[in-house]
């Protein structure tokens, strides 16, 4: 548990720097935002499951030139707290604590749901994908490390 806390803090600090544009974009966030740019229409609602501190929002905002709503959920309280501070001045950007096995939104709530780089660490991929599909109205984009 001690190592998990240390890793979570140091990784959160790294993600915070990316969210504040103090470090370059990750290649994964570039590729995901380029893909979403091709399918995102005006006023789409995007859910980022496992959002960390919201660093993918920076890439999405850079590439999508339409109004959209971004909601990020993560199970780690500290990440959500940091994200709320970093993006406090952004319009239509929201963060809340959430668990991929019980996503706190109604069926078909989001036009696009993204889940990046953590699905492979979960005990039940099937249950998590069912939840992602439940809240997805149009598109589900999963990117994972293999």
Residue 26: predicted pLDDT: 76
pLDDT digits (tens, 9 = 90+) for 39-54: 999 999 999 999 999 9
Q: What percent of the chain shows pLDDT beyond 70? A: 85
Contacts of 117 (CB under 8 A, 6+ apart): 28, 50, 143, 144, 145
The pair of three-digit structure tokens given for residue 11, joined into one six-digit string = 């990784």
Which of 3.90.1480.20, 3.40.50.150, 1.10.3720.10, 3.30.420.250 would CATH assign to domain 2-143? Answer: 3.40.50.150
Smallest CA-to-CA distance from 14 within 22, 32, 30 is with 22
Residue 145: predicted pLDDT: 74
pLDDT band at 12 (very low <50, low <70, confident <90, very high): low
- pTM for the model stands at 0.88
Residue 84: predicted pLDDT: 98
Mean pLDDT of 63-86: 95
Mean pLDDT of 77-103: 96
Mean pLDDT of 3-8: 48
Smallest CA-to-CA distance from 68 within 37, 97, 99, 96 is with 37
Residue 66 or 119, more confident = 66
* Strands of 68-74's sheet in order across: 93-97, 68-74, 44-49, 110-116, 136-143
The CA distance from 96 to 57, in Å, is: 14
Residue 27: predicted pLDDT: 82
User: 63 and 39 in contact (C-beta within 8 Å)?
Assistant: no
Residue 146: predicted pLDDT: 65
């Amino acid at each position: 548990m001690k190592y998990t806390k240390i890793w979570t803090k140091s990784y959160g600090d790294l993600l915070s720097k990316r969210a504040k544009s103090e470090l370059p974009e990750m290649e994964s966030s570039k590729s995901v935002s380029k893909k979403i740019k091709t399918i995102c229409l005006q006023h789409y609602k995007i859910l980022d499951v496992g959002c960390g501190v919201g660093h993918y929002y920076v890439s999405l905002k850079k590439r999508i030139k339409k109004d959209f709503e971004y909601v990020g959920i993560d199970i780690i309280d500290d990440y959500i707290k940091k994200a709320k501070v970093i993006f406090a001045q952004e319009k239509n950007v929201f963060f809340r604590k959430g668990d991929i096995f019980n996503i706190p939104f109604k069926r078909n709530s989001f036009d696009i749901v993204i889940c990046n780089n953590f699905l492979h660490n979960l005990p039940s991929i099937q249950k998590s994908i069912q939840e992602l599909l439940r809240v997805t109205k149009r598109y589900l984009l999963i990117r994972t490390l293999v």
